[in-house]
Amino acid sequence: MTDVLDHWIDGAPSAGTSSRTGDVFDPARGVVTKQVRLASSADVDAAVAVASKAFTEWSQASIARRQQVMFNFRELLNQRSGELAEILTSEHGKVLSDAAGEIARGQEVVEFACSLPHVLKGAMSEQVSSDVDVYSLKQPLGVVGVITPFNFPAMVPMWFFPIAIATGNTVILKPSEKDPSAANWMAALLAEAGLPAGVFNVVHGDKEAVDAILEHPDIASVSFVGSTPIARYIYETGTRHGKRVQALGGAKNHMLVLPDADLDLVADSAVNAGFGSAGERCMAISVVLATDAIADSLVQKITSRMSTLKIGDGRRSCDMGPLITREHRDKVASYIDTAADDGAAVVVDGRGTDVDGEADGFWLGPTLLDHLPTTSAAYTDEIFGPVLSIVRVSGYAEGVEIINAGPYGNGSAIFTNDGGAARRFQREVDAGMIGINVPIPVPVAYHSFGGWKDSLFGDAKAYGPHGVDFFTREKAVTARWLDPSHGGLNLGFPQHD
């Protein structure tokens, strides 16, 4: 009899009414460790009713009180992040040090939310006309929905809920059903930090819960992160139902290496950014565009570094863990055959890698493909696994042309010591995040995170100033305190005097 993970509604675990459940695996052992409840639309309705009620009080809470909860949450997270890291490793599979890194990047947004008194200040113009002042306010939206992917079960929810809560909204989080426990852990920690019941709710589920969120008349906005086809669906369905939507999608990130780059730095970066978290990162580097002059040497340096990587159970001392499910592992592995059939050289084949872990784990070792044709599905598809591809290019111009021809525009990096080339790259590449000698250019929390093209549907990126704007509505107030001189009739359009 396995445990069943409940929803978290109104400050406590809740079984809801649906009898449907899903399996949660330990990917390093390949066994089911618990069940997670899969909500019905009635369960979503119940959570929204609770969140709507809580909004009445929370939206009126002082900024100081909201800020204090965020400070408390931050302190508790600092003390107890080890517990959360263990949960992440047990359900996602990423190694413990990587799980700790994920939490730290999420915590940055919590810290940004602690600065909300400053960020929420509106603008004021005094005496715009005689005795007239104009000022702007930022007010919360209401109940906001957040739907998140499996690959960052703590960080991606933290991209959204700290800012949503600190700006006075109440939240329904629908985390990935593949690794759902982190959401409940954070919900309990928020309660311990003093957040009133009903402000933060977790509804577990699949498409049924997602559709109920998208269509619910009392949900004001949806923040989504996941694959591009689902992101497009979320954006189209949510906006059709009158919601504000930000939907971050998939990616295929390139690293362009010019002949003057430091190849040891490049090789380290390519291995770290290609195989960290088993390549299951939306900002992973999946394609290295190697200029012909240095390509052979770079392939050799990457290959020798790959031979030192230790693959295994993330609770042991390993560099890389398993993939999230057996199906996903098999799908990623199938791209190695596809690439070979299409003419690529399989320089390192991860299907034969030794593993420090249980035989039934969802293992696939780091794989390196060279001479990958850009017509191959192994190039065009988002693989989302530990497969790094080398595409050889004649120089800067061909590299940028290839990057800009793709449908995605999340992150793109250039490695060079030529400042002029780097500056051209940052201007000419159609991507939302650019790295210059930085392979994974995830912006800090006081900037905003998001891609272009099929990597983001909607106008607002995640967190930072975009996050504050997304979770608030601006109101402009024009005020005059009357005295007798302001009387008299005038039906003309108001002008300033």
| Distance, CA of 203 to CA of 168 (rounded, Å) | 20
DSSP code of 69?
Answer: H
Q: What are phi and psi of 255, to 5 degrees?
A: -125, 115
| Distance, CA of 14 to CA of 197 (rounded, Å) | 13
Within 13 Å of residue 161, how many CA atoms lie on the same side as its CB? Answer: 31
Q: Which of 8, 58, 112, 150 is close enough to bind ligand NAD by CB under 6 A?
A: 150
**What minimum distance in Å lies between the beta carbon of 6 and ligand NAD?**
17
Assess 203 for contact with ligand NAD (CB under 6 A). no
**What minimum distance in Å lies between the beta carbon of 363 and ligand NAD?**
19
CA distances from 485 to 106, 130, 131, 489 (A): 56, 11, 11, 12
Assess 151 for contact with ligand NAD (CB under 6 A). yes
Q: Which of 147, 266, 383, 445 is close enough to bind ligand NAD by CB under 6 A?
A: 147
**Of 223 and 416, CB closest to ligand NAD:** 223
Q: Which residue is nearest to ligand NAD (CB)?
A: 226
Strands 244-248 and 124-129: unpaired
Footprint of ligand NAD on residues 247-286 (CB under 6 A)? 248-251, 282
Assess 237 for contact with ligand NAD (CB under 6 A). no
With contacts defined by CB under 6 A, name the span among 25-33, 171-179, 238-246, 367-375 that binds ligand NAD. 171-179
Assess 40 for contact with ligand NAD (CB under 6 A). no
Assess 246 for contact with ligand NAD (CB under 6 A). no
Catalytic residue among 282, 333, 336, 400: 282
**What minimum distance in Å lies between the beta carbon of 450 and ligand NAD?**
7
Helix (H) or strand (E) holding 285: strand 285-291
Footprint of ligand NAD on residues 57-116 (CB under 6 A)? none
DSSP code of 282?
Answer: T
**What minimum distance in Å lies between the beta carbon of 206 and ligand NAD?**
5
**Of 448 and 455, CB closest to ligand NAD:** 455
| Distance, CA of 233 to CA of 391 (rounded, Å) | 32
| Distance, CA of 251 to CA of 407 (rounded, Å) | 9
Size of the site for ligand NAD (CB under 6 A): 27
Q: Is 282 a catalytic residue?
A: yes
**Of 174 and 216, CB closest to ligand NAD:** 174
The DSSP code sequence of 128-180 is EETTEEEEEEEEE-SEEEEE--SS-TTHHHHHHHHHHHHTT-EEEEE--TTS-
**Of 209 and 290, CB closest to ligand NAD:** 209
Footprint of ligand NAD on residues 379-418 (CB under 6 A)? 382, 384, 410
**Of 251 and 271, CB closest to ligand NAD:** 251
**What minimum distance in Å lies between the beta carbon of 114 and ligand NAD?**
23
Assess 364 for contact with ligand NAD (CB under 6 A). no
**What minimum distance in Å lies between the beta carbon of 220 and ligand NAD?**
19
Token digits for 28?
A: 């390093």
Q: Which of 18, 40, 81, 148 is close enough to bind ligand NAD by CB under 6 A?
A: 148
Query: Mask: binding to ligand NAD, 215-234, rule CB under 6 A, as x and -?
Result: ----------xxx--x----
How many other CB atoms are there within 10 angstroms of residue 304's CB atom? 11
How many other CB atoms are there within 10 angstroms of residue 475's CB atom? 11
Token digits for 256?
A: 């362009």
With contacts defined by CB under 6 A, name the span among 48-56, 150-158, 295-303, 342-350 that binds ligand NAD. 150-158
Single-letter code of the amino acid located at 359 = A
Assess 18 for contact with ligand NAD (CB under 6 A). no
**What minimum distance in Å lies between the beta carbon of 267 and ligand NAD?**
24
SS3 379: helix
Say if residues 173 and 148 touch (Cβ distance below 8 Å).
yes
**Of 206 and 418, CB closest to ligand NAD:** 206
The DSSP code sequence of 225-252 is ES-HHHHHHHHHHHHHTT-EEEEE----
Strands 387-393 and 367-370: parallel
Give catalytic residue positions. 282
Summarize as ranges the residues that interact with ligand NAD (CB under 6 A).
147-152, 156, 174, 176-177, 206-207, 210, 225-227, 230, 248-251, 282, 382, 384, 410, 451, 455
